A and B are shown apart, each in its own frame.
Chain A
Amino acid sequence: MKPSPFTYHRAASVDDAVAWLGRHEGDAKVLAGGQSLVPLMNFRLAAPAVLVDINSLHELSSIRRTNGTLTIGALTRQSAVEDSGLVAEACPLLLQATRLIGHRTVRNRGTVGGSMAHADPVAEYPATLVALDGEIVARGPDGERRIAARDFFLTVCMTSLGANELVTEVRVPVQPPGTGSAFLEQSRRHGDYAIVGVAAAVTVDEDGTCRDARLALAGVGGTPLRCDGAEAVLRGTRLEETAIAEAASSSAAAADPTDDLHATAQYKRAMVEVYVKRALRLARARTGRVVAH
């Protein structure tokens, strides 16, 4: 239960980190919060020869709103997102997701960029990014590139990041007026990995018509699942119970979960339907524009 030996480098700049990753391509890992990486290393499942510690790169720790985009530096601690009034106002779904990540102590170290790069399909942030069509900004030896959420997550714990690329920012759209959101998940105990998670946001006109809906699932496959079909069902409706029920069953049908130690695929599918309904009702109530049915 002790990690294998490794060479440690505390990066002095983003370019320095990228250079080290390139020099040891494939054998170097970024150390940010360490809340996912270090357990793997303590189990000796992961044994990188080199760790590039980016915790001194304070320029990567920021939360900014520019026009319609909320930009969060990759090193921003999850607890800082949790405490941020700016996030609460600009993107409440992100706050709702953050509160469900592990425990406060984990969130004090865990980072926004790290959670995205680790790409655990049951995690909260990947599903949130996919629901909102967010973006990852990464820096590599050839400069900066922007990766859409839909293209970023490939399968369990695999992303389209190159071995010598570093996530520098995460971008999500600022929530438009008339939007309500909810992030719900089912887990055996508070703070456990989710069995099933739902990121939901609905935008409603002043007359109560649903103009936009966003829905993504965690835990039903190798990557977060965006429920395009369910979203289409909801748009144009008044988010009546029948519309919500149809969106929930569409989501459950689209999900393709697998059996595991904690739950069968059949159970997870059933929970998708339950939690999508609950999340949509909660999101609807939070728009402040539709009377609860």
Chain B
Amino acid sequence: MKIKGERTFDAPRERVWEILLDPDIIAKCIPGCQRLEAVDADTFEATLKIGVGAVSGTYDGTLRIRERVVPSRYAMSFEGTGRGGFVRGTGAADLREENGVTVVVYDCDVEVGGLIASVGQRVLEGVSGFLVGQMFSKLQVYAVQEAAP
């Protein structure tokens, strides 16, 4: 399934780039994120607890940065497993600056398997779109804050 869209950040591109790849900030923005650690410069490990109504599960996953073009684009791959199934995919984010704001265009291809996949496309797409939206809303708040010294 596809998760794609665009969000505008009221901040310069360098700042947006910085927060998108800062594990401490990302950890606070991903809904249900219980743990996010940078294993090395290009690898993050996370534990997420995601609940949709009665259906909830804890997922352990890894995200790898595959490509960086500072500060305009990065591409990544990710995989995660939990009791309810697995998630795998690739994605990319493009950042462009216009009129003093930064527009982030994201595009991910996600494969869902196992028990969770049987729930149905409309639930998965609706929920993932919603959770991604929540994450970007929180990121927007961090973007306008001063960068950490």
B123→A258 contact, CB < 8 A? no
Question: Which of the residues B52, B118, B121 comes within 8 Å of A157, measured between beta carbons?
Answer: B52
Point out the residues of chain B lying under 8 angstroms from A48, CB to CB: 54
Q: Is B149 located at the chain interface by the 8 A CB criterion?
A: no
Query: Across the interface, do A119 and B126 meet the contact criterion of CB distance under 8 Å?
Result: no
Partner of A222 from the list B55, B56, B118, B130 (CB cut-off 8 Å) is B130
Contact call B126/A45, Cβ cutoff below 8 A: no
- CB < 8 Å: which of A43, A47, A157, A259 contacts B123? A157
8 additional A-B pairs beyond A121-B126, A156-B126, A222-B130, beta carbons within 8 Å, are A41-B54, A43-B118, A45-B84, A45-B119, A156-B127, A157-B127, A260-B122, A261-B121
Docked CA distance A47–B54 (Å):
8
Q: State which size class the interface on A falls in.
A: 20 to 34
Given the known interface contacts A40-B55, A119-B53, the answer about A154 and B130 at a Cβ–Cβ threshold of 8 Å is yes
Contact between chains at B126 and A222 (CB < 8 Å): yes
Q: Across the interface, do B127 and A44 meet the contact criterion of CB distance under 8 Å?
A: no
Contact status of A46 and B54, CB under 8 A, knowing A155-B126, A222-B130:
yes
Among residues of A, the one whose C-beta sits closest to the C-beta of B32 is A26
Give the contacts of A105-128 with B (CB-CB under 8 A).
118-119, 121
State in angstroms the CA–CA spacing of A156 and B127 once bound together. Answer: 6
- A155–B129 touching, CB < 8 Å: yes
Docked complex Cα distance between A29 and B51 (Å): 12
Answer yes or no: B115 CB below 8 A from chain A CBs. Answer: yes
Flag if B54 contacts A156 (CB, 8 Å).
no
Q: Are A158 and B52 in contact (CB under 8 A)?
A: yes
Interface of B is mostly: helix
Taken together as a complex, chains A and B put the C-alpha atoms of A270 and B37 apart, in Å, by 48
Contact with A along B31-50 (1 / 0, CB 8 A): 00000000000000000010
A29 vs B55: C-alpha distance in the bound complex, in angstroms? Answer: 10
Nearest-CB residue, chain B, relative to A159: B53
Q: Would you give the shortest CB distance from A158 to chain B, in whole angstroms?
A: 6
Q: Which residues of B contact A259 (CB under 8 A)?
A: 121
Majority secondary structure, A binding face: loop
Q: How far, in angstroms, from A41 to B118 measured CA to CA in the complex?
A: 14
Which positions in B face A, CB cutoff 8 Å? 49, 51-56, 83-84, 115-116, 118-123, 125-127, 129-130
* Contact indicator B121/A260 (Cβ below 8 Å): yes
A261 contacts which of B83, B120, B123, B126 (Cβ < 8 Å)? B120
Cβ contacts A16-59/B at 8 Å (1 or 0 each):
00000000001001000000110011011111100000000000
15 A-B residue pairs with Cβ-Cβ distance under 8 Å, sorted by A, are: A37-B54, A46-B55, A121-B126, A154-B130, A155-B129, A155-B130, A156-B122, A156-B127, A157-B52, A157-B54, A157-B55, A157-B123, A158-B52, A221-B126, A260-B120
Judge whether A156 and B123 touch: CB under 8 Å.
yes
**Alpha-carbon gap, A261 to B119, bound state (A):** 12
Taking CB atoms, residues of chain A closer than 8 Å to B118 are 43, 45
**Nearest CB in chain B to that of A219: its residue:** B122
**CB nearest neighbor in A for B84:** A45
Name the interface residues of A244-293: CB closer than 8 Å to any CB of B.
258-261
- CB-defined contacts of A47 to chain B, threshold 8 Å: 83
Expressed in whole angstroms, the minimum distance between the Cβ of B128 and any Cβ of chain A is 9
Chain B residue with minimal CB distance to A118? Answer: B53
| Chain B residues within 8 Å of A258, by CB | 121-122, 125
In the complex the two chains form, is B130's CB within 8 Å of A26's CB? no
Instruction: Say how far B115's CB is from chain A's closest CB, in angstroms.
Output: 6
Cα distance A18–B125 in the bound complex, in angstroms: 31
